[in-house]
Chains A and B, each alone.
Chain A
Amino acid sequence: MVVLSCAAVGIHGRDSFAPVRGLVVTIGAFLLCSTALAQPSSTFRDLLPDLADKIASTLGASARATLAPTTDEQSARDVDRDLAALLTARGLRIAADATSPASASIAVSCGENLRERACVAEIRRGEVRDIVSATKAHAVHTHEGDAARTLAIEAMPLFAQRARILDVLTIDDRLVVLDTVGIAVYRRANDDWQPIASRAVEPPRIWPRDVRGRLRLSGSAVEAFLPGVVCQTTPALTNFTCADQREPWPLAVENAGLDSLRNTFQTPEGTPFFSAATLDAAAGARTVIVDVTHSLVLMDETRAPVGTIGTADDVASVAAPCRTGAYIVTSAGMPGTSADALQLWRLESRTAIRAATPVALPGRMTALWSTAGAKIATAIVRDTDGDRYAAFQIRISCNR
């Protein structure tokens, strides 16, 4: 059904500094479902216009109705809310209060069976009860071997240290590590990383509490993006220069760089967000962002929001070597633990479908970046037990 189970847990990961009604607030807690994103209301959102058409056709324009909740679950309420908006747009008058007199009462149930996703509405008018439904078949795997292969998230440890790692970049046998102090380069030798060079980065001002940094290989130059600072150097860290300037960061969405006092970016339209990922056309959207309420918001080519598919702390796009389609990894806390889990989703027609078993991480994730080409992602995890930061390369593997 719409939501299987929920538990109240504290928020974690990146703090939220979103100005709300003139105040700067930190969101303290939210409901994190144990099946977060497994059956969010958005899973059924594409069915609702068809369902609304059928209800409107049954009741007739300008009819009065109430939506009777079938369960007390948040996602069921979301479905009711979205459906109410669609019915209102079709000329029906939807009473907000279920106890108010109305000509009809509508109860909606959304779920899925093996064949399809479905939303069924029961319309009661006195003793008359009508049933209408909207369904959409599950994707059929027609490629040879496609369905026989299962996807798995692979988290390969790359590097670990005590200082907070912001990003890592592999260049042939070298590893560039950006942390809160500066940049260091290591070379692989005997299954270990030997330091070659390092350069300190002097912050022009105090770094924000949740400092973030990003590395990019641009031609033969290594660029480091920090809050209000951009550094350029070579893979050997020669010709190292930093400039106190705010520049766009290499993200999936056009931006003006990280706010030097915050941990968020902004779209050209002014929407603040934590992270972003590029999507394949099958997703039905161009990009997905994690906004400051931790919602995963889908955006089209013009960066207009076209849907919300759940919540997460971070998002990155990855490619499945044995499958086509749009895949993203998201991070979220595991209820009852002080660690995060990575989850893999396939996006299809603006719907998120779980694509692999979640992978538990050894601590809180502090960064998740898509790499160039979005084949793999980089995750940085703070291992609370060992008090160190570890960088992982995240990729999808295909198993028979």
Chain B
Amino acid sequence: MASLIATPTAARPQYGGTLRVSTHASIRSLDPAAAITDRSEAVLSARLRPLVFETLVEVDATGGLRPVLAESWESDAAGARWRFRVRPGVILHDGSPLEAWKIAAALRTTATAWTVSTDGEVVVVEPARPERDLPWALADSRHAIAVRRSAAELVGSGPFRIDRLESGRASLKAHDGYWAGRPFVDAVQVDFQRSMRAQLADLESGRADVVELQPSDVRRVTERGLRVVATRSIDLLVLVFESNRAEATSEPARRLFAGTLDRSTIASVLLQGRAEPALSLLPTWLSGYSPQLVASTVPRPTRATVMALPAAQRTLTLRVDPTDAVAHSIADRIAEDAREVGFTVTVQAPTGLAPRPDVRLVRATLESTSPDRSLQQLGADLGSRTLSGATTGSAVTAGASLDTVVRLERAVLGGFVVIPVVRMPELFGLGDAVDISEDDAVDRTGRWKFANLWIRSAARARP
């Protein structure tokens, strides 16, 4: 009897369908020039924006840069004048060709300190001061090319175009003329402000194809046969002392408090091995140097040592974002470990007005891909006042040399005003109807790569 070789699943991607994505955050605009102060909105914008607006170059998640809208680039020796040759054949979402003058106009909006001009199909960028790694700045989605047809209408070149952007949802349509090949799906629908619990339910019931996951949900999702994709460790949970506790006289108390942290247990037990202890602000894959060069480690203090502190310094209010359940559980664990040796710690997760805390547990997401810009961004996220106090007024600037970054990071950590706890990846669950044609659904630095996804028409069970 003849038999056939069984093919378990079709490997050739199918076109069509709508990819349904859920997120806990929301955005009001994808405009690269928009100033966004809310952390979760900024993170979501950085994820979503590259689907619509592309940059001249892109950071390769394995290292180095690769061309996107610029097919090549060069500079003089000092980095004072950069020339980017525009990729030919790129069609914008309105059907018009991408031209050098359109890129120049877009860059003048997002980088006002630069002089941007054109030379035929070359965009010439002259930064205010020489920048030897200017392409790394241009790889940031805040310098994505958005062509302004009017004050409200922006046109991009990415794999998807904006169809509607409403308060609770963003709807994107596939760009048929995309220069790197039309996406497999016809549309992407991103639902905002879905709680983590609701997202998990959406994934399990088939109402969503891509959702955010908490570390504690990973086992449950994989046991159901669904896939989990993870970025590199780009989320950092860090303790930041408020200015009333950041002065030099409180340093012994902060040092002892840092010694009570049990990072390994938090990473391996509380976060189920989905996190790693953080001794430095920048992870090694981003800094290139050992955390030992900048870490300020202290042994676990004895109860007697802590009790020798003035009572006021032994009492702390630890504030945490009430919407961040993972951070809340970590804060509880930190408080418990500190109480064991004599600290009195109250965890505060206020939804309204609350007394001023002494220390905050902050989640920072590393959006930049170079050590100098990442430290600069962390400075902004953690509070520039706190950091400038810790570094005696020094500020991290983009383009700073690596030894400057090491020096500043060590200065920031040296005073125990800022204490890293754990770092973890961002986790996403993929529904059983969705498949990946190549690469990944989310790259290692966190950018969404939804043009790579396709939907199995037979597998989709619409609610």
Interface residues of A (CB under 8 A from B): 1, 70-71, 107, 109, 111-118, 120, 122, 131-133, 135, 137-144, 146-148
Do A142 and B73 contact each other (CB < 8 Å), given the known contacts A113-B371, A122-B293? yes
Do A114 and B60 contact each other (CB < 8 Å), given the known contacts A109-B293, A142-B67, A148-B66? yes
Residues of A with C-beta under 8 A to B61: 114
The answer to whether A132 and B288 touch across the interface, beta carbons within 8 angstroms, is no
The answer to whether B402 and A135 touch across the interface, beta carbons within 8 angstroms, is yes
- Residue from B74, B284, B406 within 8 A of A1 (CB atoms): B284
Chain B residue nearest in CB terms to A2: B290
Asked if B348 CB lies within 8 Å of chain A CBs, one says: no
Residues of B with C-beta under 8 A to A138: 63-65
The answer to whether A139 and B406 touch across the interface, beta carbons within 8 angstroms, is no
Asked if B76 CB lies within 8 Å of chain A CBs, one says: no
The answer to whether A131 and B403 touch across the interface, beta carbons within 8 angstroms, is yes
- Bound complex: CA of A109 vs CA of B403, how far in Å? 12
- Residue from B64, B67, B369, B402 within 8 A of A118 (CB atoms): B402
The answer to whether A140 and B135 touch across the interface, beta carbons within 8 angstroms, is yes
Shortest CB distance A146–B (Å): 8
Q: Which of A117, A118, A146 has the most CB of B within 10 A?
A: A118
The answer to whether A1 and B290 touch across the interface, beta carbons within 8 angstroms, is yes
The answer to whether A144 and B67 touch across the interface, beta carbons within 8 angstroms, is yes
- Bound complex: CA of A283 vs CA of B9, how far in Å? 43
As a 0/1 sequence over residues 59 to 89 of chain B, the CB contacts with chain A under 8 angstroms (1 = contact) are: 1110111110001111000000000000100
Residues of A with C-beta under 8 A to B71: 142, 144
Interface residues of B (CB under 8 A from A): 59-61, 63-67, 71-74, 87, 133, 135-136, 180, 284-290, 292-293, 369-371, 401-403, 406-407, 410, 445
The answer to whether B59 and A109 touch across the interface, beta carbons within 8 angstroms, is no
Residues of A with C-beta under 8 A to B136: 115
- Residue from B60, B286, B292 within 8 A of A70 (CB atoms): B292
The answer to whether A115 and B285 touch across the interface, beta carbons within 8 angstroms, is no
Shortest CB distance B59–A (Å): 6
Shortest CB distance B287–A (Å): 6
The answer to whether A109 and B64 touch across the interface, beta carbons within 8 angstroms, is no
Residues of B with C-beta under 8 A to A147: 60, 64, 66-67
Residues of A with C-beta under 8 A to B410: 131
> What are 11 A-B interface contacts by the 8 Å CB criterion?
A109-B293, A113-B63, A114-B59, A114-B60, A114-B63, A131-B410, A137-B133, A138-B64, A140-B65, A144-B71, A148-B180
Residues of A with C-beta under 8 A to B66: 141, 146-148
- Bound complex: CA of A107 vs CA of B406, how far in Å? 13
Shortest CB distance A135–B (Å): 6
Do A114 and B292 contact each other (CB < 8 Å), given the known contacts A147-B66, A148-B66? no
Given contacts A116-B402, A141-B60, 5 further A-B contacts (CB under 8 A): A107-B293, A114-B63, A115-B288, A120-B289, A133-B289
Residues of B with C-beta under 8 A to A139: 64
Shortest CB distance A132–B (Å): 6
Residues of B with C-beta under 8 A to A141: 60, 64-67
Shortest CB distance A271–B (Å): 34
- Bound complex: CA of A147 vs CA of B57, how far in Å? 11
- Bound complex: CA of A116 vs CA of B402, how far in Å? 10
The answer to whether A111 and B60 touch across the interface, beta carbons within 8 angstroms, is no
The answer to whether B406 and A112 touch across the interface, beta carbons within 8 angstroms, is no
- Bound complex: CA of A294 vs CA of B63, how far in Å? 29
- Bound complex: CA of A117 vs CA of B180, how far in Å? 30
Q: Which of B73, B136, B369, B406 has the most CB of A within 10 A?
A: B406
Do A116 and B288 contact each other (CB < 8 Å), given the known contacts A133-B403, A142-B67, A147-B67? yes
Do A133 and B290 contact each other (CB < 8 Å), given the known contacts A112-B63, A138-B63, A141-B67? no
The answer to whether A115 and B284 touch across the interface, beta carbons within 8 angstroms, is no
- Bound complex: CA of A95 vs CA of B292, how far in Å? 23
- Bound complex: CA of A113 vs CA of B136, how far in Å? 13
Shortest CB distance B134–A (Å): 12
- Bound complex: CA of A71 vs CA of B64, how far in Å? 27
The answer to whether B67 and A114 touch across the interface, beta carbons within 8 angstroms, is no
Chain A residue nearest in CB terms to B444: A114
The answer to whether B288 and A111 touch across the interface, beta carbons within 8 angstroms, is yes
The answer to whether A120 and B406 touch across the interface, beta carbons within 8 angstroms, is yes
Q: Which of A116, A138, A140 has the most CB of B within 10 A?
A: A140
